[in-house]
Amino acid sequence: MALVISLVVSYFLYNRIKRQYAAAVQPIKIVAATKTLDAGTTITADAVALVDWPVNFPVEGAMTKTQDAVGRIALFPLAAKEPIREPLLAAPGSVGLQAKIPDGMRAVAVETNDVTNVSGFLFPGCRVDVLVTFRPDTGNTQDLTATVLQNVEVLSTGERLQPDPSGKPQKVRQVTMLLTPDDAEKMVLAANRGTVQFVLRNGTDQVQQAHRAVQLKDLQTATAAPPTQVAVKRAPAPPKPPPSYYEVETYDGSKKNTVKF
């Protein structure tokens, strides 16, 4: 009887657990990329498909209809079979570089050369500081170099929205940066007022520090020699004339007397 009861109980428990597990792993259909897509790519119908996804591992922002992704622009690179989520796509109707500009931000393009674009190693996604060399209108005749922007993201270099996979340097005439409206005004003023120089920084370095402007005199490392002190020989003091009298001290017991003659 104990064996029969244990078999019956085990059977019911097994069926119950099996039904719960089957319900938990029941797949749903979500939209995924069928091939690798670069950032800035417009998604076409053949680039997406519906794939099975476990219902117990939901993907935040996932799409369930392919038409919701078709015609949108990828803001970030997408791998094959990667679920396509709403935050990875530009807003409907956005095109080209416009799709990579978040709300409240601005894209500003600046003319560059081989020096200002760090010998061609300035790629989309890099972080830079912006320096400007100018002569102030305060009567100072010396040029100043000041850091006007820090930790600025490069949106594009020339017409490229993505860096070269091989990492080869590229010569471009324009660099487009992602800035706030206030920083955009500073960038335009700096580009028209003086010479702009980009300073490449580590992508993980997020520290922003206050820097004072550097003047030409700060580059003068040689200091003036101290004035030479000339030793002046002084004439020896004339000897003192002999006294006109002599003094003799005498003692009578504890009594002291002084006699002059």
Is the Cβ–Cβ distance between 195 and 203 less than 8 Å? Answer: no
Same-domain check for residues 124 and 194 = yes
Kind plus residue range of the DSSP H or E element containing 53: strand 48-54
pLDDT band at 100 (very low <50, low <70, confident <90, very high): confident
- Pick from 171, 186, 167, 193: nearest CA to 115: 171
Same-domain check for residues 170 and 197 = yes
Is the Cβ–Cβ distance between 176 and 100 less than 8 Å? Answer: no
Note whether residue 74 is domain-resident. Answer: yes
Same-domain check for residues 117 and 54 = no
Same-domain check for residues 126 and 193 = yes
Cα–Cα distances (Å) from 228 to 222, 223, 225, in that order, read 17, 15, 8
Query: What is the value of pTM for the model shown?
Result: 0.53
Kind plus residue range of the DSSP H or E element containing 154: strand 144-157
Tens of pLDDT, residues 101-120:
878 888 888 888 777 767 67
Q: What is the pLDDT of residue 20?
A: 67
Same-domain check for residues 65 and 109 = no
What is the widest separation between alpha-carbon atoms in the chain? 153
- Examine the pLDDT at 33 and tell me if it is beyond 90: yes
- Examine the pLDDT at 226 and tell me if it is beyond 60: no
Cα–Cα distances (Å) from 156 to 8, 78, 194, in that order, read 69, 18, 23
Tens of pLDDT, residues 42-92:
889 999 999 988 887 888 889 999 998 998 888 788 899 899 998 888 877
Tens of pLDDT, residues 120-178:
778 888 889 998 888 877 766 678 888 889 999 888 887 777 766 666 777 778 888 89
CATH number assigned to the domain comprising residue 73: 3.90.1210.10
Question: Containing domain of residue 64, as a range?
Answer: 27-94
With a CB cutoff of 8 Å and minimum separation 6, the contacts of 57 are none
Name the token pair of 196: 């702009």
Same-domain check for residues 62 and 159 = no
Q: How many CB atoms lie within 10 A of CB 47?
A: 20
- Annotate 74-105 with b (16+ C-beta within 10 A) or e (fewer): bbeebeeeebbbeebbbeeeeeebebbbeeee
Same-domain check for residues 48 and 119 = no
pLDDT band at 31 (very low <50, low <70, confident <90, very high): very high
Q: What is the pLDDT of residue 49?
A: 93
Alpha helices in 87-232 (DSSP H): 181-193
Secondary-structure breakdown of the chain: helix, strand, coil percentages, each rounded to the nearest 5: 20, 30, 50
Q: What is the pLDDT of residue 201?
A: 86
| Count of structural domains, the chain | 2
Radius of gyration of the chain, Cα coordinates, nearest whole angstrom = 42
